Amino acid sequence: MMMMMNCHQVYPTIATWENGTNCCSWSGVTCHPISGHVTAIDLTCGGLQGKINANSTLFSLSHMQSLNLAFNDFSNSQIPSPIGEFVNLTHLNLSFSNFQGEIPPQISHLFKLQSLDLSPSHYDEFQLKWKEGTWKRMLQNVTELRVLVLNYIDLSSTSMSSLNLSSSLITLSLDGTGLKGKLTDDILCLPNLQHLDLSGNFLHGQLPSLSCSSASLNVLQISYCELQGPIPPSFSNLTSLTLLDLSFNYLNGSIPSSLLTLPRLNVLLLRYNHLSGQIPNVFHQSNRFEELDLRENNIQGELPSTISNLQHLIHLDISRNKLEGPLPNKIAGFSNLAFLLLNDNLLNGTIPSWCFSLPSLVNLYLSNNKFTGHIPAISSYSLQGLSLGGNKLQGNISESIFNLVNLTYLSLSSNNFSGSVNFSLFSKFQNLERLYLSNLGQLSLNFESSVNYSFSRLEMLDLSSLGLTEFPKLSRKAVLESLILSNNKLNGKVPNWLHEIDSLHAVNLAQNSLTTPVDQFSRNYQLRYLDLSYNLLTAGISSSICNASSLQALVLSNNKLTGTIPPCEIFIQLELLNLGNNQIEDTFPHWLRTLPYLKVLVLRANKLHGPISIFKTKHGFPSLKIFDISSNNFSGPIPEDFIQSTSVLFKRIPTNFVIIDLSRNKFEGEIPNAIGELKALIGLNLSHNRLSGPIPQSMRNLIKLESLDLSSNMLTGRIPTELVNMNFLEVLNLSYNNLVGEIPQGKQFGTFTNDSYEGNLDLCGVKCREKHDDQPSPPSQTLWREDKFGFGWEAVAIGYGCGMVFGVVMGSFVFLIGKPKLLVRMFGG
C-alpha cells in the first residue's frame, strides 16, 4: 500500500491509550494547558484501518484546532460529513489515508481553516472528487487558507477561471487535478504565494505575461500542462524564485537571458519542450544554480563560455538537443558537478580531459555525438555511469577505465576502436549492472572458451555486431535479465547455460546463422522478449513454445519456418508477434483475436491462405494497432466485423498511430463502408487484390490518414471529392483500377503526380496520362518504406508493443536511431 511506503515506520499510537486515564497524557493528543480541551490529534502513520463512523466521539471534540490522520488506511471510505462540526479547526491533514468518493459539502463550514491536505494514496486514478458547488463554497468561505494541497483530486468539473483564491495563500498544490482553462497572471501574482504547483493539468494556451512588478513565488511548477508559445520576458519579475519547472510542454522560442540571471534560482527544469536558439551566455559568478535541465529541446550552438561560472552546479542535462562544436578545453570549477549529460547532440572534437577529472562526478553521458580521438586518462574514480557510445572514438580502450571500481553502467558501443581487449577485464566491475559493447569497430574482444564469466550484478549485456562465432560462457548463477547477441556469426544451437539463467527476461539473437529450434526456449518460463529473426530456423513452430507463457514480444521473422502456427491462447501477455517472411502454410490464426494486449501483428510474406472468416465476437483484437498480413494468399471479402471491432478502440484514442496492410492477397468484393470508422488510421494498404466496386465515401472520415494505397485492384466509379479534405495525406496510389471521371483538385491532391492515377483509362484531370497497353503494373507503394515514415513501421511498433520489455533492451538500440535499415532488420521487416 502506497501510504505504508511513505511511512518509514508504523506507530500504533491508539494501542497505547488506556481507558480511565487522562486523555491529555495520551500519545498524539494535545490539550489546552488551562481548559484541558483537546486541541490537536496527530495519528500520522498510526496503522489505523477501517472507517470513521459518523457518530464517533471524535466529532464531539468541538475545540479541535488540528487533526492529522495522514498515512493510514480508511478502506476506501468517504470522508465523514461531520468533519464540518470542527468549527475551530485550522489544520486538517487526511492525505495518503485511502479516503474515496465525493468530498462532503460540510467541509466548506471550516471557516477558520488555514491548512488543508487531502492528497490521495494512489496517483494513478482519482480517489476523491470535488463537486463544483462544494469547491466554490469552500473557496468563498475559507478565506484564511495559507496551505492548500489537493494533488490528484478530481477537479475536472471546474476551470481555472473559477479559482477565486485567498490572498493569504502561501502554498497551493493542485498537481494532476484535471483543471482546465487558460493560465492567467492573477494566480502567479498572489501577494503571499510562495509555492505553486499546477503540473499535470490542461492549461492549454500560452504562459501569461506578468502584470505584477514582482512576486513572492519561490517554487513554480507548471509541467505537463500542454502550454505553448514562448517564455515571457516578464518572468524575470519572479525574483524570489528558487525552483522553476516548465517541463513537458510545447514551449518554443529561445530561453530568455533574464531567466538565467534570476538572483536566487537554483533549479531550472525546461526539459521536453520545443525551445530553440542558443543558451544565453549570461551566467554570472554569483549564480546559485544547482540543477539545470534542458533535455529534449532544439537548442543549438556551442556551450556558452560563462557556463564555468556555475560553481554550485550538481546536475547539468542538455542531452537530446542540437549542441555543436567542441567542448571547452578547460573548465574552472564544476567541483560539485555529479551529473553531466550531453548525449545525443552534434558535439565534435576530442573529449577534454577535465570531463574525466571532476572530483564529484557520478554520471558522464557523452554518447551519440561526433567525438573523435582517444579516451583520455580517467582520474575521477567516483564515476558510476559512463556512456561514450555512438561516437567516432579511436585507438585502444583506455586502461584507466578498468580502475572505475564503482561503475554500474558502461556503454562503449558504436565507435572506431582498434587493438584488442580481454573480456575478463570487464568482469572486474563487481557493481556493473548494464554493459554495452556492441559494434566496437576494429577492436577485437577476446573470449576464453574455458572461462565462465561471472558478473554478480549484471542485468543487461549487449555484445551485438562483434563478429562473434561462439557464445561467451556466462555463469549459470548470473542475474542477467537482458542479453543481446544480434548481428554476429553465431551458428548451430543455443547453449544450455542460456536456458538455465532463471532471471533472463529478454533475448535478442537476430541476424546470426542459428538453426536452434524455437521450442528450445520453451524452458525459459520468465522470458518476455525473444527475437530470433534473420536466422536459419527451419521446420515448424512446436506447440511447446506455448509454455513460455510470459512472452510479451515474439519476433521470428525472416527465417525458413514451415508448418502451422500453434494455438497459444495462454499468451495472454503477448503484445507483439512478428512471423513475417517465412514459409508458414496455414489459415488465419483466429485464436490471436482473444489476446487482450496484442498490439502489433505481422504475418506478411508467408503461405497463409483461405478466407478470414466472420469472427464469433465483435470485440476481437481489443488492443490491435498494427496489422500486416500482406503478401499471402488470403481470399474472400475483407471481414467487415473485424473493422468494426477494432474501431471500438480506435475511436477511443483517435490520435494513436494505426496501420493496416492487406496488400498482395486475393481479397475480393467491395471495400467495407465500415472502413470509415477507423478514425485513427494513418496508413492503409489494400493494393494488389481483387477488390471491386467504388471507393467508399466513408473514407472521408479518415482525417488522420497519411498513406493510402488502393492500386492494382478492380475499383470502379469516381474518386470521392471528399478525400480532398484529408489534410495529412502524403502518399496516394490509386493506379491500375477502373476509376472514371475527373481527378479531384485542391489541397493535398495538388501535390500528387500522375503516377498516383495511371492505369485508369477513363480517369481524367489536369494532367491525365494515357495508359500504354504494354506498360507493366508498378509495384505497390508499401506503406512501411515511405520516407515520411522515418524508420519504417518497426519504430512505430516500439511505441505500441511491449513498452516495458522494450524499455529493458532499448538501451542497446539507441545507436540505431536514424539508421532505418538497421531498425528494420532489428525488428524484422
The x, y and z cell numbers of residue 620, run together, are 476481437
Rounded CA separation 330/359 (Å): 15
The residues that bridge with 709 in the sheet, in sequence order, are 685, 733
In a domain, 356, yes or no: no
Using alpha carbons, list the distances in angstroms from residue 116 to 66, 147, 494.
Answer: 10, 6, 61
CB 679 within 8 A of CB 658: no
Using alpha carbons, list the distances in angstroms from residue 731 to 548, 710, 785, 796, 821.
Answer: 40, 11, 11, 18, 21
Whether 672 shows a pLDDT value over 50: the answer reads yes
pLDDT value for 265: 96
What count of other Cβ atoms lies within 10 Å of the Cβ of residue 12?
A: 12
Say whether both 580 and 453 belong to one domain. Answer: yes
The x, y and z cell numbers of residue 195, run together, are 509555492
What count of other Cβ atoms lies within 10 Å of the Cβ of residue 567?
A: 14
pLDDT value for 132: 85
pLDDT value for 789: 35
Q: Kindly report, residue by residue over 263-304, the tens digit of the pLDDT.
A: 999 999 999 999 999 999 999 998 999 999 999 999 999 999
Q: Which residues neighbour 597 within 8 Å (Cβ) at sequence distance 6 or greater?
A: 552, 572, 573, 574, 575, 623
Whether 2 shows a pLDDT value over 50: the answer reads no
Say whether both 669 and 536 belong to one domain. Answer: no
Q: Kindly report, residue by residue over 66-78, the tens digit of the pLDDT.
A: 999 999 998 878 9
Say whether both 760 and 786 belong to one domain. Answer: no
Whether 617 shows a pLDDT value over 70: the answer reads no
The x, y and z cell numbers of residue 510, run together, are 537476430
What is the number of domains present in the chain?
Answer: 3
- Helix (H) or strand (E) holding 139, with range, is helix 132-141
| pLDDT band with cut points at 50, 70 and 90 for residue 380 | confident
Where does a domain end: 104, 135, 158?
158
Rounded CA separation 268/432 (Å): 31
Burial 21-37 (b: 16+ CB within 10 A, else e): eeeeebebbebeeeeee
Sign of CA dihedral 493, 602, 552, 389: positive
The residues that bridge with 220 in the sheet, in sequence order, are 196, 244
In a domain, 309, yes or no: no
Say whether both 744 and 790 belong to one domain. Answer: no
Packing angle between helix 793-800 and helix 820-827, nearest 10 degrees?
60
Using alpha carbons, list the distances in angstroms from residue 769 to 534, 711, 772, 778.
Answer: 42, 16, 9, 15
Q: What is the mean pLDDT of the chain?
A: 85
Q: Kindly report, residue by residue over 518-537, the tens digit of the pLDDT.
A: 888 887 778 999 999 999 99
> Cell 459539502 appears where?
105
Say whether both 520 and 640 belong to one domain. Answer: no
pLDDT value for 645: 56
**Phi/psi at 367 (5° precision):** -70, 160
In a domain, 266, yes or no: no
Coil, strand or helix at 826: helix
Say whether both 3 and 148 belong to one domain. Answer: yes
Q: Kindly report, residue by residue over 681-700, the tens digit of the pLDDT.
A: 899 999 999 999 999 999 98
**Share of residues in the chain with pLDDT > 70 (%):** 88
The x, y and z cell numbers of residue 286, run together, are 554569483
Say whether both 702 and 788 belong to one domain. Answer: no
Whether 802 shows a pLDDT value over 70: the answer reads no
Q: Which residues neighbour 735 within 8 Å (Cβ) at sequence distance 6 or greater?
A: 711, 712, 755, 756, 757, 758, 759, 760, 778
Say whether both 75 and 95 belong to one domain. Answer: yes
Average pLDDT over residues 552-574: 94
Say whether both 696 and 766 belong to one domain. Answer: yes
CB 108 within 8 A of CB 82: no
CB 53 within 8 A of CB 78: no
| pLDDT band with cut points at 50, 70 and 90 for residue 125 | low
Whether 809 shows a pLDDT value over 90: the answer reads no
CA 725 to chain CA centroid, Å, is: 32
Task: Assign residue 708 the CATH number of its domain.
Answer: 3.80.10.10
Whether 103 shows a pLDDT value over 50: the answer reads yes
In a domain, 200, yes or no: no
Say whether both 770 and 786 belong to one domain. Answer: no
Higher per-residue confidence, 654 vs 595: 595
Q: Kindly report, residue by residue over 439-486, the tens digit of the pLDDT.
A: 999 999 988 877 778 788 899 999 999 999 999 888 777 788 999 999
- Cα angle for residues 630, 633, 639 (degrees, 5° grid): 75
Where does a domain end: 158, 190, 210?
158
Average pLDDT over residues 798-815: 34
Rounded CA separation 270/204 (Å): 17
Average pLDDT over residues 223-233: 95
Q: Kindly report, residue by residue over 744-756, the tens digit of the pLDDT.
A: 887 778 788 888 9
Whether 189 shows a pLDDT value over 80: the answer reads yes
The x, y and z cell numbers of residue 526, run together, are 520468465
Residue 541: give the domain boundaries: 447-595+782-829
Whether 193 shows a pLDDT value over 60: the answer reads yes
Higher per-residue confidence, 441 vs 795: 441
> Cell 502506497 appears where?
2
Higher per-residue confidence, 333 vs 153: 153
The x, y and z cell numbers of residue 528, run together, are 518476455
CA-based nearest residue to 798, from 810, 787, 789, 788: 810
Say whether both 774 and 795 belong to one domain. Answer: no
Rounded CA separation 395/439 (Å): 14
In a domain, 284, yes or no: no
